[in-house]
Amino acid sequence: MAASAADQSPTPLHTLSFNPWAAAYEYAVDAWQRGVLYTDVMRQRGNQYHRHIAKRAPNVLSMKSELILDGRELERPVNYGLLRILPPEGMEVDPQKRPFLVVDPRAGHGPGIGGFKPESEIGVAVQAGHPCYFASFLPHPMPTQTVEDVMRAEARFMEEIIARHPEAEGKPVAVGNCQAGWQIMMTAAMRPELFGPIIIAGAPLSYWAGWRGMNPMRYAGGLLGGSWLTAMTSDLGAGKFDGAWLVQNFENLNPANTLWTKQYNLYEKVDTEARRYLGFEKWWGGHVYLNGPEIQYIVDNLFIGNRLATAGLVTSDGIRIDLRNIRSPIIVFCSRGDNITPPPQALGWITDLYQNDQEVRAHGQTIVYAVHESIGHLGIFVSGSVARKEHHEFTSNIDMIDVLPPGIYQAEIADKTPETINADLVQGDYVLSFEGRRLDDVRDIVEQRQDDDRRFAAVARISDINLGLYRTFLQPWVRATVTPQSAEWMQRMHPLRLPYELMSDRNPMIAPVAQVAEQVREHRQEVSPDNPFLLAQQMMAKTIETSLEIYQELRDWSQEALFMNVYGSPLVQDWAGLGAKADAPRRHPGVSPEHRSFMEDRNAELRSLMSVGGLREAAIRMLLYVAGAKGGIDERSFAGIRRMRAEKDHVLSLQQFKDVVREQALVMRLDAEGALRAMPTLLERSSAAEIRASLADMKQVLEAAQPLSERAQNSLREMEALFETAAREAERAGRRRAGRSPQAPADAPAAQAAEALPVKTSPAAESKAVARASATQPLESANDEQAPTTPRKRAAAARKAPTKRAAANKAVAKKTDRTVPAAKTGRARSARRSKT
């Protein structure tokens, strides 16, 4: 019995004969070797740093590129340059696909993080066959460079890309990461005609926004007394601001990772982690510089002033930077795990600019947002999993996004499974859908508080006061004592730059580590995973990490409490000049009288288009009506449209298709009932076969995704009945025309005479006649070059048609009067005879 129990629970021998001295020796050997290898990685990091900064134009792109436009040669020179990404061997670029421009943040680090790995924003675009370009920059700015100069350079880059791709079906896509996101948005607001869809990843646009207890970085400006320290730092750098200070701000947000976790992770996995660590440090340690006026503009107008989101910025030549001017779709990608650009700062500009959903549509803006649940700030544009999922889906469906009608949408990405309906219409491993959202949904994310806005408004006022005091009393003394040599010494002694300088082969104490590390690799003895000393080390490491996280939470809580109490004080707000104003510190930018007049004319124009069009317009109205009841649309539906377009010989271009969809969406939103009542008129000139074929195509598109909801099914049945009624009417009309065809020759003269005589009609009948005459061709043959294809051209044609028709009838009437006098005389003689 005892033997049987022993057989069932054997005990390992090494647990019975544990030797603490052997375990200690094994751990000590591994720790010594691990320490040597860790030091060697630090040495390699320093050598890599010196090689990197020695390059003329350093970047960390994983693909080869060529310079096609040098910003230093522009009229207003900048340190930016436009690079064309050369596809790797085996990848081909489709010249008809719209090009991509990726712009990296110039926020302390060097360029290239958007193409850091094959699975990146650039990698995804190239793999999809899109021509790809990259806006790179040099470490040092041009002497007179300003933020406006960079915006103009980016506009020039877009012009160059457009000129190089005349066959592309759509304007270039601009991708802006972090700081580059708000810069691209400013450029697009200034030159909206140059941009296709705009993707901004982790880009802050509303700088006062944030969640209490979670986003302490927004309090930094107030706790430091405003932007006067920024000005002093630039003065100490002889007119240049060292980007390493911005990087240090990022690192200070997470002391546990900065002071312990990142380095301990390398030490613990030094045999396998070195390559990844060195690759990231090449970008993280490649600090760049900004001109003093550049960083001062950014801090005063954006970080502290928060003037971008309320159209409060005006360029030097008088152009107001209003984000509502952007006509291209805007895709906002943010994450709840991002402590640098939280969702309120990424989405708050929407609630800052607009008061209701009607205003969003009135300005013709399509806004798509996606909120990741956990990824950090850098992971938004560095993580391979994010590139495979979010960036791949945005890139693959960029044409679909470009066609979305004006409004607010949320992008939802689901896994493709064996149960996925019409999986063959899905590109990749995920299904992208767009769900309609309201402005209130965005407000729920932003959680704007008026009392917090008053605090930040006080910070902005006090910052201006302190900056003025610094420039009056301290700046002359600081500038008088600074020399180029002292500025360079300060830069090299920066706390973030110094470790790179010391831990390299330039240090004679570190250079011999390379030989020792080589010997260690040849005789590597790793500690066993269950070594008790190793387990104790891991426990201690976790304790240190947890302690630093507790410190971070206490620090963040105390900073928030200090900020709230100081700037929430009525005395401080009175001192800042806010006490006399009881209204909101920041108002919506409002709408100009010109825009109101434009919208009135636009609504009148849309009403004139209610009955203008044909089968194509009717089919799109049906699609929009059922999709609206369905609540959204996903990539399978658009893939069905793309497949049908590929099977037709004569189709609209993507831009023309986009214009028609947007026009019909606006018509439906202006008067949905009137647009639906006018659909029989749109279908009058089409044959029964064409009507039924179009209905079948639209049903296939609508049913390509998940099953329709009950409301959507009811809407679809309404449309089926409407189209079937129109088809039967077309059949009856066809039979009537066939029955009259033998008498057509005999009746022709009378018909011609009747048509020649001018007929007085009512305005309503005339409008209906014009609408019928203006009906366009069906979907499959809708590429008639003579027919007006844009909304404005069709509206103008509809307005001009009655005038042209009346003029033509008048001319015919004059001709008829000259050709029938005898008939009139004859009728008069007959009348006189009868009277006699």
Complete domains list, the chain, with CATH? 24-54+244-286+498-521 (no CATH), 55-208+320-448 (3.40.50.1820), 217-243+288-305+449-482+546-589 (no CATH), 594-735+757-808 (no CATH)
Q: Average pLDDT, stretch 22-44?
A: 97
Rounded distance between C-alpha atoms, residue 636 and residue 26, angstroms: 59
Per-residue model confidence as pLDDT tens digits over 398-443: 989 998 999 999 999 988 888 888 887 888 889 999 999 999 999 9
Per-residue pLDDT, 769: 40
Q: Are strands 240-242 and 65-70 parallel, antiparallel or unpaired?
A: unpaired
Choice among 518-527, 542-551, 694-703 with the minimum mean pLDDT: 694-703
| pLDDT for res 370 | 96
Mapping DSSP onto H, E and C, the string for 315-366 reads CCCCCEECHHHCCCCEEEEEECCCCCCCHHHHHHHHHHHCCCHHHHHHCCCE
Token pair 């230093």 is found at 72
CB 461 within 8 A of CB 574: no
Kindly tell me if the per-residue pLDDT of 741 is higher than 80. Answer: no
CA 62, CA 43: separation in Å to the nearest integer?
23
169, two tokens: 């079906």
The confidence score (pLDDT) of residue 303 equals 97
Q: If 0-12 CB within 10 Å is exposed, 13-18 middle and 19+ buried, where does residue 721 land?
A: exposed
Mean pLDDT in residue range 231-258: 97
DSSP state of 390: I
Measured between its terminal Cα atoms, the distance across the chain in Å is 145
Instruction: Kindly give, in sequence order, each residue whose CB lies less than 8 Å from that of residue 403, ignoring residues fewer than 6 positions away.
Output: 638, 654, 657, 658, 661, 662
Query: How would residue 67 be classed by pLDDT, with cut points 50, 70 and 90?
Result: very high
**pLDDT at res. 655:** 79
The tokens for 60 are: 């960390």
CB neighbours (10 Å) of residue 108? 23
The first and second tokens of residue 474, run together, are: 């301290």
Q: Which helix (H) or strand (E) holds 788?
A: none
Nearest Cα neighbor of 334 from 379, 304, 282, 279 is: 379
462 has a pLDDT exceeding 80: yes
382 CB-side CA count, 13 A:
16
Is it the case that residue 470 has pLDDT exceeding 80? yes
* Environment class of 278 (CB within 10 Å of its CB; exposed 0-12, middle 13-18, buried 19+): middle
17 contact partners, CB below 8 Å, separation of at least 6: none
Beta strand 407-415 pairing with 366-372? parallel
293-324 tens-digit pLDDT: 999 999 999 999 999 999 999 999 999 999 99
pLDDT digits (tens, 9 = 90+) for 144-197: 999 999 999 999 999 999 999 999 988 999 999 999 999 999 999 999 999 999
Which has the closest alpha carbon to 439: 371, 352, 373? Answer: 352
Q: Kindly give the pairing relationship between strand 289-291 and strand 313-314.
A: unpaired
Residue 658: its pLDDT value, please?
Answer: 83
| pLDDT greater at residue 359 or residue 708 | 359
**What single-letter amino acid sits at 755?**
E
The rounded distance, in Å, linking the Cα atoms of 731 and 324 is 48
Distance CA 618, CA 50 (A): 65
Indicate left, alpha or beta for 487 from its phi (over 0: left) and psi (-120 to 50: alpha).
Answer: alpha
Q: Is 54 helix (H, G, I), strand (E, B) or coil?
A: coil
- Planar angle of CA 397, 399, 400, nearest 5 degrees: 65
The Cα 159–Cα 262 span in angstroms is 42
Mean pLDDT over 208-212 rounds to: 95
Cα-based angle 332, 338, 344 (whole degrees, multiple of 5): 55
Residue 656: its pLDDT value, please? 82
CA separation for the pair 332, 395 (Å, rounded): 14
d(CA 712, CA 96): 36
Q: Which residues contact 682 (CB under 8 A, 6 or more apart)?
A: 611, 613, 614, 615, 617, 618, 621, 775
- The token duo for 109 is 């680090």
Q: Which pLDDT score is estimated for 434?
A: 92
Residue 650 DSSP one-character state:
B
Six-digit token pair at 347? 């989405």
Residue 289: strand pairing partners: 242
CB within 8 A of 477, min separation 6: which ones?
A: none
Q: Which class for 326: exposed (0-12), middle (13-18), buried (19 or more C-beta within 10 A)?
A: buried
Tokens 């003029």 sit on residue: 807
Report the sign of the C-alpha dihedral through residues 45, 49, 52, 58, in that order. positive
Task: Tell me the angle at which helices 710-740 and 615-630 cross, rounded to the nearest 10 degrees.
Answer: 160
Structure token digits, residue 130: 């899109």
DSSP designation for 430: E
Please report how many Cα atoms fall inside a 13 Å half-sphere around the Cα of residue 704, on the Cβ side.
27
The stretch 752-756 carries a mean pLDDT of 33
Strand, helix or coil at 793?
helix
Residue 336 in this model has a pLDDT that exceeds 80: yes
Looking up tokens 């066809």 gives 734
> What is d(CA 234, CA 239) in angstroms, rounded to the nearest whole number?
5
pLDDT of residue 16 exceeding 50, the answer is no
Q: Looking at 252-261, 722-731, 776-785, which range is the least confident one?
A: 776-785
Report how far residue 408's alpha carbon sits from residue 435's, in angstroms, rounded to the nearest whole number. 9
Number of residues written out for the chain? 836
Number of C-alpha atoms within 13 angstroms, CB side, residue 690? 19
Q: How confident is the model at residue 499 (pLDDT cuts 50, 70, 90)?
A: very high
- Each residue of 572-609: pLDDT tens digit? 999 998 876 777 787 778 777 877 888 888 889 889 98
- pLDDT category of residue 649 using cuts at 50, 70 and 90: low
**Inter-residue contact 429 to 416 (CB < 8 Å):** yes
pLDDT at 108 over 80: yes
pLDDT of residue 779: 36
Q: What are the Cα distances from residue 56, in Å, to 76, 143, 558, 567, 643?
A: 21, 17, 44, 46, 48
Q: Which pLDDT does position 119 carry in this prediction?
A: 84
What is the per-residue pLDDT for 635? 86
Average pLDDT score, the chain:
86
Cα dihedral 672, 673, 678, 679 in deg (nearest 10): 70
Residue 781 clears pLDDT 80, i.e. is over it = no
Regarding predicted confidence, which is higher, 111 or 11?
111
Look up residue 799 and give its two tokens. 């307005």
Q: Name the strand (E) or helix (H) holding 241.
A: strand 240-242
Token pair for 74: 């522009």
Strands 313-314 vs 320-321: parallel, antiparallel or unpaired? antiparallel
Residue 767, pLDDT > 50, answer no
Residue reference for tokens 């508080």: 449
